[in-house]
Structure 1
């Protein structure tokens, strides 16, 4: 069901429900009012008949004549007056078809209560005890409220007609109202359908930022900003990957083509083979790094199931790097270790964290003039901080926000072999572990990388 139809139905049901409750209440209170008014008229009529009979000597025929001339018409009325001996003193009923069921017990109950109102068949009856000369009489007056019933029938027809008519009008008005209310959303949908991958710089017009449609449009614009950024990063990533893969492949092809131009000695072939193998190793290293970067880009929150002790992982990383690079000097500052060993533990993945630490240590060794890196560790109850310091040329301030992008390399690193992927990999691993990475200058020269992990 479309939103417009749903809104129309809900609006119609709401208004129709309110109307139904209102009309039922009108009918109910009208019924109560007509019934009580009719009973009051019966009481007045009964009292008048009793006073007329008891005040003067009047024959029953004269009373009937007076009742017939009364402008207050009460249809099919039956009057019964009993004395204190429960003997019938007066009745206007001339046929057996018109009667009120009366018993000695019931007459005594009327004398006790003083007045009783009830229904006998289709007639409404009032029974009251009144004082007449020489006796305590009981007057019973019953009649059919024909006028009240006709009024109730006419009222019910009027209310039903109004209910149907108003419901139809409300449904039509709700349909028009829903169309006008959803018109801004339709406009936004049409504008979104016109945005193609080639036009990601297009943004939706925000007529009013204060209402819900304006906030929705603003949210769409922010989403388009993120999508455009992602597309641009993807293009840059593909271009950089193509460039990085092209260099070793071009070198391999050139060397093989030169070797195939003429006969060469065994030593020359051996040299060419060694050079090609180095290029292939470089290509394999680049491929492995790209695979690691792609893996960390995925949602790997389910892999953070280990309890990792940071100090032990740092020592393990140092051992690994020392075995692969004998020229790297790694110094640890672990003077501020806590008494509680659990402060050194975080939830994470030891393999990924070791990759991040290994990249930072290796970079520091490559860019430091003395091939050294200083690693310090500080902990608290809620946070673990690891700091890597080198003595290289440092990272210029404008480049500190860009070095975490894949394949980005600062001008200071032009003479150092690399692909510009390591820091991007580090940043993604740290974020995956609910951590942050900060770059600070290391005076008088060098760079400080600060990794902060929250202990959840």
Structure 2
């Protein structure tokens, strides 16, 4: 069901419900008032008739009957009975009364002075009228044809008004919901017209203060993120293609050259070693891509252990020193923490070691003397690790892009690498509720600062 139809139905049901409750209340209170008014008229008629018969000497039953028949008081099919103080019927306006009266009931009326009830279709009023001989009883019953007709007319009129108003409200709701949804329809048409080739297109924001304007702004922000994701994807694919193309081209060229003519054994061995190096480079690139794809900020389930950062740093230093004897790693602890648990975080030791290896190896590669200084400090709120080299440094322009996959600055063009390491490091640090930042290390070099907050 469309929103326009649903809004129309809801609006019509709401207004119809309010009208129905209002009309029912009007009819109910009119019904109660009509019954009360009819009983009042019956009581006044009974009192007047009793007063004429019992207190006016000139009026007897025959004259009273003439008065009663000639009076047009809108009381239809009335049965009027008057009993004296001895329960003797002294007046009746009809020979065949439809009311059932007993002596016991007459005595009850005298004790209560006023009783009213419904006897079949008759509304009956019974009063005890005091006169000089005692208490007479006047019983008057009748059909309220006039009130019934008024209630029927009111019921019909309310039903017709209800149907007419409901129809008008449904039509008006349809028109207004259609007008209200015009901006949304416009947004839908504009969004449908945005193709992958036109991701720089943005929706027009008519009014930023209403809901439609905020919805449009939300769409524009979503389009910004989509455009950024597409741009990153294109860059990623282009960079992966480039990184894969270089070693594959080298392997293909070397093998083709080797097949051109017979060569010495040493030449074939040299070619094989070179091809193996290129294959290792491809393998390293593939492993880095797999690790990059696995690590995400949302994969908190990978953090299962309580690990000490100083122990992982020492283990990383040992592994890196064994793999490359020329690397020098200087470990510095500025001040011992008051509590050893300040050096602990919840994390994954394998991932942390991967991040530390990347930072230490990069620092050694770009340092003139292949040296990296590692500073560790901790307090009750966070643990900080600094990796410092004394190389050429990183320009401000490169610092803003250095964590993008495959990005390599101008100063790194002569150093072998894929440009994935720092992107992987950033994801690992964020996964461990940490931050990574870059600072210039005066007079030369770069400082990478890791901050792990304690939660």
Which category of TM-score, normalised to the shorter sequence, fits these structures? over 0.9
Alignment partner of 1:73 is 2:74: yes
* Partner Cα distance (1:168, 1:65) in 2: 54
Distance in 2, Cα, partners of 1:354 & 1:114: 104
Structure 1, residues 119-145: CA drift from partner, whole Å, max 9, x if none? 111111112222112111222211110
Partner of 2:387, secondary structure, is: strand
The residue number in structure 2 matching 1:357 is 356
Mapped partners of 1:35, 1:8: distance in 2: 40
Alpha-carbon distance in structure 2 between the residues aligned to 1:110 and 1:387: 106
Does the 8 A contact of 2:85 with 2:133 survive in 1? no
Tell me which residue corresponds to 1:82: 83
1:384-434 CA-partner distances (Å, limit 9, x unpaired): 332222222221122211100111112222222212111111111222223
Deviation at 1:299, TM superposition (A): 4.5
CA distance in 2, matches of 1:116, 1:181: 61
Task: Tell me, in whole angstroms, the C-alpha distance in 2 between the residues paired with 1:386 and 1:112.
Answer: 103
Q: How far apart are 1:109 and its partner, in Å?
A: 3.1
Deviations along 1:176-200, one digit per CA (max 9) or x if unpaired, are 1211111111111111111111111
* Partners of 1:284 and 1:37 in 2: CA distance: 101
Number of aligned residues? 454
CA positional deviation for 1:323:
1.7
How far apart, in 1, do the equivalents of 2:17 and 2:88 lie?
55
CA contact (8 A) 1:129 1:137 kept: yes
**Contact 1:50–1:132 (CA<8 Å) still a contact in 2?**
no
Give, in angstroms, the shift of residue 337 of structure 1: 4.3
Q: Structure 2 CA distance, aligned partners of 1:384 and 1:170?
A: 67
Aligned-partner SS, 1:430: helix
Corresponding residue of 1:257? 256
Q: Cα 1:317–1:112, aligned 2, differ >3 Å: closer, same or farther?
A: farther
Name the structure 2 match of 1:186.
185
- How far is 1:175 from its partner? 1.4
- List per-residue Cα deviations over 1:26-47 (Å, max 9, x = no partner): 1101101111111111111111
Question: Paired residue for 1:420?
Answer: 419
Instruction: Look up the match of 2:41.
Output: 41
More deviation, 377-386/133-142: 377-386
The separation in 2 between residues aligned to 1:314 and 1:83, in whole angstroms, is 120
Distance 1:352 1:337 in 2: 25
Name the structure 2 match of 1:156: 155
Query: Could you list the runs of 5+ residues in structure 2 that have no partner in the other structure?
Result: none
Deviates more, 1:330-339 or 1:60-69: 330-339
Moved more, 85-94 or 243-252: 85-94
Q: Secondary structure at the match of 2:415?
A: coil
**Displacement of 1:335:** 4.5
* Matched residue, 1:59: 60
Give the stretch that moved more between structures: 224-233 or 333-342: 333-342
Matches of 2:334 and 2:103, distance apart in 1: 111
Q: CA contact under 8 A between 1:337 and 1:377: conserved in structure 2? A: no
Provide the rounded CA distance (Å) in 1 between the counterparts of 2:164 and 2:404: 67
**Pairing of 1:215-294 with structure 2 (within 5 A):** 215-294=214-293
2-structure distance, mates of 1:67, 1:354: 115
Partners of 1:147 and 1:88 lie apart in 2 by: 29
Using a 3 Å threshold, how does the CA distance of structure 1 residues 100 and 354 change in structure 2: closer, same or farther? Answer: same
Deviates more, 1:81-90 or 1:50-59: 81-90
Q: 8 Å contact 2:297–2:430 — kept in the other structure?
A: no
**Of 198-207 and 367-376, the range deviating more from structure 2:** 367-376
* Structure 2 Cα separation of the partners of residues 14 and 75 of structure 1: 42
C-alpha separation in 2, matches of 1:438 and 1:113 = 98
SS in 2 for 1:398: helix
- Maintained 8 Å contact 2:377/2:384: yes
Match of 1:140 in 2: 139
Query: How far, CA to CA, are the matches of 1:112 and 1:447 in structure 2?
Result: 112
Equivalent position of 1:92 in the other structure: 93
Residue in structure 2 matched with residue 11 of structure 1 by the alignment = 11
Q: In the alignment, is the contact (CA less than 8 A) between 1:93 and 1:99 conserved in 2?
A: no
Indicate how the Cα distance of structure 1 residues 78 and 405 shifts in structure 2: closer, same or farther if over 3 A, else same: same
Secondary structure at the aligned position of 2:408 is classed as coil
Structure 1 CA distance for aligned equivalents of residues 382 and 136 of structure 2: 99
SS at match of 2:374: strand
Measure, in 2, the Cα distance between the counterparts of 1:338 and 1:88.
Answer: 115
Q: Deviations over 1:197-251 (max 9, x none)?
A: 1111111111111111111111111111111111111111111111111111121
* Distance in 2 separating the partners of 1:9 and 1:442: 69
Q: Tell me, what secondary structure is at the counterpart of 1:209?
A: coil
Instruction: Report the Cα offset of residue 89 of structure 1.
Output: 2.8
